Amino acid sequence: MDPPVRNEPSIVPREINRWNWGAFLLNWIWGVGNNTFIALLTFVPLLGWIMPFVLGAKGSAWAWRNGRWDSIEHFKRVQRLWAIWGLIIWIVMIGLVGGLFGGVFYLLGHSEAYTLAVSRLQASPEAASILGTPFSTGTPFGSINVTPTSGRATLSFSATGTKAAGTVFVDALKKDGIWSLVKLSLKVEGSGAVIDLLMGTRADDEYLSGRAARTTRQGAFHAPLHAVRLMWPDDGWSFSAPPVRIVSFRVP
């Protein structure tokens, strides 16, 4: 059994002058428990990021000088308990934070707003043509506020197909218990194109512009696909692309 050493607190035995995990993990809590109140500097802005490392490096020496220890083994035993409890607390905290974030992403990914948006995206010919099929969707980010009869969701998630990838932006409203989409747009990576999947319009008319060109025996025209309509009047075919122009021609 080690003899009492409290009569020379200024002399720090070499075997205990090492990294202190309890001081590093619990910093100010460890400091209060070990009469090392310099650990309260953890609450000072900027110093708060540095003090855990300072306490880890110098904590054993400070605790030895500031405490009442029966022996070196007594000191080691107490500091080992601080380290164990520090590790347990950090594991619990990480588990709680991870569970919180995991729960949020789970709720977003299983929300009616997200399910409705994915269903509409998968049914969109524009999205299928641009992304390529099959395509997959990623984890949604954003916020959802709901009550029993109303709510609003603002989400974004990735969509990746065989030809391209992009980000989908969603605004949805819940009224009388029923969700509906207010906005559903696809921003295509690498092109800057933004496609309104609810209206079937493009914000970037140059993207895939070749698909907007049509040719006939009498000529050709190029028009952005803004709500293009196809009609069959008595005098021939007519394509309209308001508000740009109306082009008509006769098929012989």
- What is the predicted pLDDT for the residue at 148? 83
Q: Is the full-model pTM beyond 0.85?
A: no
Instruction: Kindly report each contact of residues 35-39 with a partner whose C-beta sits within 8 Å and lies 24 or more positions away, as own/partner.
Output: 35/63, 35/66, 35/67, 36/62, 36/63, 36/66, 38/62
The mean pLDDT value for 144-161 works out to: 91
- What is the predicted pLDDT for the residue at 221? 33
With 50 as the cut, is the pLDDT of residue 248 above it? no
Split at pLDDT 50, 70, 90, the class of 200 is low
Q: Where are the beta strands (DSSP E) in the chain?
A: 136-137, 141-146, 150-160, 165-175, 178-188, 194-196, 201-202, 213-216, 219-222, 229-231, 237-241, 245-249
Neighbours of 100 (CB within 10 A): 10
pLDDT tens digits for range 2-39: 554 454 666 889 899 999 999 999 999 999 999 999 99
> Where is 88: in which H helix or E strand?
helix 72-109
Amino acid at 129: S
Specify the 3-state DSSP secondary structure of 55: helix
Q: How do the domains of the chain map onto residue ranges?
A: 14-108, 125-202, 209-249
Residues 6+ apart with CB under 8 A from 45: none
